[in-house]
Structure 1
Amino acid sequence: MAPSPHRPTRPPRGDVVLAAVVLAASLVQVAVAPIAGPVVSVLVAVGSAVPLAWRRVLPSTAALVLVAVWLVPTPEGFLLLGYAIAGLLFYSVGAHVDELWRVLLLTGAGVVVGVVMTLLGPEAPPTAIGSALVVAGPAAAGRLVAHQRAQTERLRTLTAELVHERAAAERAAAAEERTRIARELHDVIGHEVTVIALQADAAAAALAKAPERAAAPVAAIRSAAAETLAEMRRVVGLLRGPADDGTEDLRPQPGLADLAALADAARAAGTPVELCFRPPAGHPPQSLQVTVYRVVQEAITNAQRHAPGSSVRIRVAADGDVLCIEVSSSGGRRGGPPGGGHGLVGMRERVRLHGGRLVAEPTADGFAVSARLPLVLQGAP
């Protein structure tokens, strides 16, 4: 069993008050009806009640003191609160002593001494059964409580570790997404952009001195631009993954105008979709349009995967300088909440790079994704 939580170094105030109350009651009893000689009666009352104050600080010592007091003969009777005192102290032994062998040793000593002294005293022999039970029963109950407490502590620790690991995985996924995009754009596009810049300088110089020589740099710029566009499409294709037929998909990236087609495709797949689209004025940056499309696509995919049969409501509308995205699913069969992959993590990072914020959370009968994106493209922080 794992060690119990840290015990206090000083007797808790509650235990001190309990010991004082039990001591006062026991002293009143032995004053009215002595259980032995006056001095012995007082010693037995004090020795039985005072250990209660240390039952959680020094449970083994407190139990041993009580067992030692039991060895003192009391031919005239016994403390009326004696069973309650024994139950509390041996419960504390089971609940607060970590080593099982020590619990068994103390409990065994208490049972033996209690039974023997009961048989030697004025009580009837069957009373010895109660003496054994008042020691063994609370000790066993305390041990069960200690086991449950240790289990709860382990679960709490495990939960904290899982939460930490999940947060770390999300951060790693977001960082990986940004790193892949940056690396691909730098390595693949950087050379072509440099060529375009150099050829543009050459064309400008030729136009100033010999216009007929500008044709070659302009042709080089046109060629490099075409190659750059193809490479950019390839980069996006790599980030998105290969097409179904194993070839690269070089189609232009989707945007706001493709949301209707996305909704139609989901309906064709059996998912009821309601689309409300109010486009913003002007032409938002293409990268922002791609992000909106991917957020809606990921939300529909999660609804189809994790809540089969659900209906999906999509709202994409401009609100001043902000583009609002709301996608909610409801009424489907629960197949577990989203979160097994990095789809939403990647979308959240893409939205953040545009200066927006994405929230994904379960609802009463489905799942909801919402995002707000500034219509003016912002750089990454």
Structure 2
Amino acid sequence: MKSIAMVIPGGIAGVKTITDKLVYGLKRERLNVKVFLYGKNLAINTLLDLRYASQLRNFDTVIYMGSIPQLSATFIKLTRGENKTILFVHGFLFHETLNALRSVQISLRGKMMSLYNIFLWNVGTSTKSIDLFICHSITTCEANKIVKNYIILPQFVFPEEIITYAKLYQGLVSDSSNHNEVRVLVYTSFALSPRLLKPYHVIRLIKGVSRKIVGRRIQLLIIDPRVGEKLEEYSNLKVRFMKPLQRHEFLQLLAQADLYIERCIDEELGLSSIEAALLGTPIAKLTHPRYVERQDYEDEILWASSPRKFVDMLSDYIQHLDYWKPYYAKKLRDFLATRRSWDRVKAPLIKYILSS
């Protein structure tokens, strides 16, 4: 049985969720997986990593999560370790680091952490310590200057997840929803990436939608850790900024929403979009024309390649919500079951791990 070590940086909720799913998927393939979970402190992480390096060297494969190759990867390579090292790249590392250094909202400690991550990246890549890169999309690989030795592993689901979320949905929603007020949800984070729509972009788009609809009000809910609680009201549009929620509260809000807006303008669908689909909440997405041909979805979500088409599409959706919402909810569940199931996307990774 092949042995796999999963090295996970601490304090990154989204990465932890993806890691948990990947560990579960690998164990389904009868692989022996051990998790090494690090903390939030950079100095302690480095000491832990060096301490574990000799252990990691004994695994057939080491998978580093969180986009950053730890120093143990270089140790393994320099000591002629025979195991395979894989790096799972989740975001636009260089763009996000540069934006973090420019941001006045990022603390000095946060800026130092960003610079240290770039140092680790440069050490890992310059010593050719990584044998294979995993990206959620081709665009993510390109943005991180990864041009070879990579595979694409998009966000995926398991059959039992579809069943679990369908049951969860029943306990999260009520029949008292008021469709004269349409709830549109957006989730943001501290990530500063050029591939993400900013809140003011979303507000501008939804303002355009609000001018075209008749007889309905829109409540735009923006979860934004940078802003906190704030309320803005226009004619038939209410914009409410919210602080990050506990997971159950977020899932409840997601299940009760009439529409979830994916902020990625490339081909990727983020983790929250997948959870929206699992809960039967349709997804809207503005895709840059450059990335349209890379999408693996067609009419399963409300997507457009121009702001005008996006506004027109959402206006029609909201105006005829009773028809379109169940239509897209079903299309999304079918999409997850057929094109984003673990069994559909796992082959390149499993083949690499099992290869001699």
TM tier, smaller = under 0.3
User: TM-score normalised to the size of structure 1?
Assistant: 0.20
User: TM-score normalised to the size of structure 2?
Assistant: 0.21
Q: Which has the larger radius of gyration?
A: 1
Higher helix share: 1
